[in-house]
Amino acid sequence: MSDLKRQNIQVSVETTYIASSSEPKAARYVFAYSITIKNTGNIEAQLLNRHWVITDANGKIQEVRGEGVVGEKPHIQPGESFQYTSGTVIETPVGSMQGSYHMLDSSGEKFTAPVPLFSLSIPRTLH
């Protein structure tokens, strides 16, 4: 597994609290996250699987593993990006997510692209 290839996949995240779907009295906080996966390398990469670790403020951890993202296994050409939006539900107004994408390059080599830790928080909760 090449460290260089790992660095050629850049992941950025934007999160949104979905108040209309949340029920704070029932400890249900819904968040959407929009992910942009950019291939800054010079070889095509396909996203095969995802792994998420979702943690709420009580320390409750959910792990999610699955094929692709939003029903797709995108091929990302050099210089191109793939964007998608998904969501998660946690029991507290603040939490975090981190994870990784398991990728396959066009030469047949598998590698992992990490998704750095990002926050989930209702507006005006974190500074």
- The string of pLDDT tens digits covering residues 95-110 is 999 999 999 999 999 9
Q: Has residue 12 got a pLDDT over 60?
A: yes
- Return the domain boundaries, the chain: 3-118
Q: What is the pLDDT of residue 1?
A: 45
Q: Supply the CATH classification number for the domain 3-118.
A: 2.60.40.1470
Q: Has residue 127 got a pLDDT over 60?
A: no
Select from 22, 33, 99, 13 the least CA-distant residue to 62: 99
pLDDT band for position 93 (cuts 50, 70, 90): very high
- The string of pLDDT tens digits covering residues 29-59 is 999 999 999 999 999 999 999 999 999 999 9
* Alpha helices (H) along the chain: 3-7
Average pLDDT value for the chain:
93
Distance, in Å, from the CA atom of 69 to the CA atom of 49, rounded to the nearest integer, reads: 7
Q: Has residue 91 got a pLDDT over 90?
A: yes
